[in-house]
């Protein structure tokens, strides 16, 4: 009866429906905004350190949300058993041995204050007690917090309005291993790692020159990442260096991780397909870029560095080109350029030829193509798209799957693309050959970003060929060339030294013998263009004194 009354009254009254959803639900309500305003960071307006230790302690606790954060360590102790102090650091980011053996024992020793007369012992501690290689001081919380996050330990002392930042970085990192993307037969087998310091050191180890400058710049407003800008003073164009730093400093983003993100923030034109900076995972290649007058940017967290400014032709160069003798190096470049041509045009040309210009195919070849296509039920465009899409799927799948089954996927993919597709009458054997050569061509492109751009372009050419034959392909080529010609990388035209024409360089498409590469690229406008003397092979003149003049002219 009571239930009936409830039901009847319920029909005339309104009650808030209960949330019957199970589990967590993220609602777009106003509480989030209020919470954001009440964060400890917002509450602390003052950035200066207080001489009172308990105030500092409380501030640090608030800033690092100590009540929730369990990996931030605050170690309170007494210096020389008299003066109260505490050390703040992040567990896992510091080398505990350094703390346990070189810092705490010295600070806690009875003998610390034998000669101390001043009130604030910061100078005394730095000069006499702390036996670590790098010590800094700071009086701003903003700076201290970032340094602690980077792996330093902050020592706060009672009565001091300065904090001592002690170098104790000691986090886990990957060892230097062989490069995974830019493998070479001849040449260095060292690759960058995820650690910024290690990467900088790897480059420094190659260029042992006092003019090699490494500037550390903070990027990322929230993740407080760092990046290193490396260049050779007196070789790199100072205007380009300033421009690179200006762009890096003016990035207003909360999260930046590695070179890939940095590249997108500082490149000249985001809408273009082609890369405007070169990414490398090889320290030797990064070093060679620096020697050319380029600027290297190394981000934190990825084993890559980016170089700027670049030109289109530089995207075909590899470090191996210079380790090989020049005929071999040039031959490989020729193969890569042919690969680029195949990767870009081949499917499009195939579509255009078979749809619009059959009269242009030699008769025997035409008969062969026609016979193969006889059993295929799809139009040529669809046939090409099926194959190209399958190929792209296999390639993408091959990258994403674990290495163990990656090989299997490749074999399965090859079977699907090749034999099975032909046997099922889905595609013609000729097309399998075309797509295979196209795939091989795109693998021959040494720059990954360029290879992706070419993959996209390939589809544009396929559609252009399908819609307007050679006419469409030609127009698409002109349009893309127009866009490429309008591109610049940090003020350097993309197709320099060909368009616009500048002073010829011995290393553009083909390269001369190594001793003839005497000058840096003209397009970079380096203050010092000369790389070698007039006769880099002085031993020739030493062996044959008569050849001195001849050598000077080379």
Partner 1 sequence: MIKEGKFGVNEAVCLVTMAICNKIFSTTPGYITRTIGNTGWYMTLISCATALVFFILIYLLLKRFPGKNIVEIYDASLGRAVGFIFSFLLMVSFLLSVGIYTREFTDILKIYSLPFTPPSVIIGTLLSVAAAAAFLGLETIARVARLAFYPALLGYLLILIFSSKNFEPSNLLPIFGYGLDKTVITGILRGSAYDEVIILAVFAGSLQGIGQIKKAGFISLLLSGFIISVGLLCFSLVFEYTSIQEITIVAYVMTRKIEYGVFFQRMDPLFLLQWIITTAIYISILFYTTVSIYCKLFRLQDARPVVIPIAVLVFSIAIFPKDFTSVVTEYVQGIRNYGNITFFIMPVIALIIAVIRNKRGETKCAD
CB burial class (10 A; 0-12, 13-18, 19+) of residue 478?
Answer: exposed
Q: Which of residues 444-473 bind partner 1 (CB under 8 A)?
A: 468-473
The angle, 0 to 180 degrees and rounded to 10, between the axes of the packed helices 283-292 and 196-206 is 60
What's the residue count for the chain?
Answer: 554
Minimum distance of partner 1 from residue 360's CB (angstroms): 5
The yes or no reply on residue 360 touching partner 1 (CB under 8 A) is: yes
**Among 12-20, 160-168, 175-183, 483-491, the segment contacting partner 1 (CB under 8 A):** 483-491
Asked if residue 314 binds partner 1 (CB under 8 A), the reply is no
**DSSP string of 68-90, one letter each residue:** T-SSEEEEEEEETTTEEEEEEEE
Cβ nearer to partner 1, comparing 188 with 525 = 525
Is 516 near partner 1 (CB under 8 A)?
Answer: no
Q: Answer yes or no whether residue 485 interacts with partner 1 by CB under 8 A.
A: yes
Between 220 and 472, whose beta carbon lies closer to partner 1? 472
54 or 501: whose CB is closer to partner 1?
501
**Which one, 144 or 466, has the nearer CB to partner 1?**
466
Q: How many CA atoms lie within 13 A of 329 on its CB side?
A: 21
111: Cα separation from own chain's centroid: 50
Among 84, 140, 245, 357, binds partner 1 (CB under 8 A): 357
Tell me whether residue 117 or residue 364 sits nearer to partner 1 (CB atom). 364
**Can you tell me the distance from the alpha carbon of 487 to that of 493, in angstroms, rounded to the nearest whole number?**
6
Residue 126 to residues 84, 165, 233: CA-CA distances in angstroms? Answer: 17, 10, 33
Rounded Cα gap, residues 157 and 53, in angstroms: 7
Q: Which is nearer to partner 1, 500 or 527 (CB)?
A: 500
| Cβ closest to partner 1, residue 306 vs residue 495 | 495
Query: 169: which strand partners?
Result: 94
Please tell me the distance from the alpha carbon of residue 295 to that of residue 526, in angstroms, as a whole number: 11
Nearer to partner 1, 361 or 452 (CB): 361
Under DSSP, is residue 343 helix (H, G, I), strand (E, B) or coil?
helix
Q: State the minimum distance, in angstroms, from the CB of residue 362 to partner 1.
A: 6
The single residue among 43, 216, 475, 509 that binds partner 1, judged by CB under 8 A, is: 475
By CB under 8 A, residue 478 contacts partner 1? yes
Confirm or reject binding of residue 342 to partner 1 (CB under 8 A): no
H-state helical runs in 181-237: 196-206
CB atoms within 10 A of CB 256: 26
Q: How far is the CB of 493 from partner 1 (least distance, A)?
A: 7
**Taking CB under 8 A as the rule, does residue 361 contact partner 1?**
yes
Neighbours of 531 (CB within 10 A): 16
DSSP state, 507? B
Q: Cβ of residue 372: shortest distance to partner 1, in angstroms?
A: 18
The answer to the question of residue 481 lying near partner 1 (CB under 8 A) is yes
* Identified binder of partner 1 from the candidate list 364, 374, 543, 549, rule CB under 8 A: 364
Q: How far is the CB of 461 from partner 1 (least distance, A)?
A: 12
Rg over alpha carbons for the chain, rounded to the nearest Å, is: 32
Q: Is 146 in the site for partner 1 (CB under 8 A)?
A: no
Distance CA 280, CA 287 (A): 11
Q: Residue from 479, 527, 528, 550 that binds partner 1 (CB under 8 A)?
A: 479
CA distance 345 to 457: 9
d(CA 442, CA 447) in angstroms, rounded, equals 10
Q: Which is nearer to partner 1, 361 or 401 (CB)?
A: 361
- How far apart (Å, rounded) are the C-alpha atoms in residues 251 and 244? 11
Binding interface with partner 1 (CB under 8 A): 349, 353, 356-357, 359-362, 364, 468-475, 477-479, 481-483, 485-486, 493, 495, 498-501
């Amino acid at each position: 009866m009571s239930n009936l009354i409830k039901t009847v009254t319920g029909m005339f009254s309104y009650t808030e429906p209960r949330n019957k959803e199970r589990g967590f639900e993220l609602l777009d309500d106003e509480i989030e905004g209020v919470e954001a305003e009440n964060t400890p960071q917002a509450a602390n307006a003052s950035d200066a350190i207080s001489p009172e230790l308990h105030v500092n302690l409380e501030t640090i606790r608030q800033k690092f949300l100590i009540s929730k954060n369990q990996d931030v360590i605050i170690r309170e102790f007494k210096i020389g058993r008299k003066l109260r102090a505490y050390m703040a650091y992040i567990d896992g980011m510091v080398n505990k041995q350094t703390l346990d053996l070189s810092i705490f024992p010295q600070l806690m020793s009875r003998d610390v204050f034998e000669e101390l007369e001043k009130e604030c012992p910061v100078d005394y501690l730095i000069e006499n007690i702390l036996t670590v290689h790098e010590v800094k001081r700071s009086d701003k919380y903003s700076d201290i917090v970032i340094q602690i996050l980077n792996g330093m330990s902050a020592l706060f002392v009672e009565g001091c309005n300065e904090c001592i930042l002690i170098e104790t970085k000691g986090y886990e990192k990957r060892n230097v291993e062989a490069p995974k993307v830019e493998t070479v037969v001849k040449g260095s087998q060292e690759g960058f790692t995820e650690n910024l310091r290690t990467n900088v050191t790897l480059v420094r180890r190659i260029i042992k020159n006092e003019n090699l400058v490494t500037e550390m710049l903070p990027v990322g407003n929230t993740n407080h990442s760092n990046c290193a800008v490396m260049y050779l003073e007196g070789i790199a164009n100072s205007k380009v260096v300033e421009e690179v730093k200006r762009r890096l400093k003016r990035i207003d983003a909360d999260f930046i991780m590695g070179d890939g993100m940095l590249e997108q923030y500082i490149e000249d034109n985001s809408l273009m397909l082609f890369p405007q900076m070169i990414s490398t995972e090889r320290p030797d290649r990064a070093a060679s870029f620096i020697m050319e007058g380029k600027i290297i940017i190394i981000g934190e967290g990825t084993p890559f560095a980016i170089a700027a400014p670049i030109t289109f032709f530089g995207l075909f160069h590899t470090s191996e080109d210079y380790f090989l003798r020049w005929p071999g190096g040039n031959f490989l470049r020729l193969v890569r350029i042919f690969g680029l041509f195949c990767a870009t045009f081949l499917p499009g040309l195939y579509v255009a030829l078979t749809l619009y210009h059959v009269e242009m195919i030699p008769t025997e070849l035409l008969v062969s193509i026609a016979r193969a296509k006889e059993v295929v039920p799809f139009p040529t465009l669809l046939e090409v798209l099926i194959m190209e899409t399958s190929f792209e799927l296999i390639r993408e799948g091959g990258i994403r799957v674990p290495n163990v089954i990656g090989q299997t996927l490749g074999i399965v993919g090859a079977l699907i693309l090749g034999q099975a597709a032909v046997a099922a009458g889905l595609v013609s054997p000729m097309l399998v050959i075309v797509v295979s050569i196209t795939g091989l061509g795109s693998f021959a492109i040494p720059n990954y970003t360029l290879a992706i751009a070419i993959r996209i372009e390939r589809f544009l050419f396929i559609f252009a060929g399908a819609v307007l034959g050679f006419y469409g392909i030609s127009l698409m080529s002109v349009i893309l060339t127009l866009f490429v010609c309008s591109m610049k990388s940090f003020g350097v035209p993309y197709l320099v030294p060909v368009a616009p024409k500048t002073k010829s360089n011995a290393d553009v498409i083909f390269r001369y013998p190594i001793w003839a590469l005497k000058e840096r690229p003209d397009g970079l406008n380096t203050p010092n263009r000369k790389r070698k003397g007039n006769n880099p092979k002085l031993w020739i003149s030493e062996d044959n004194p008569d050849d001195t003049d001849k050598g000077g002219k080379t």
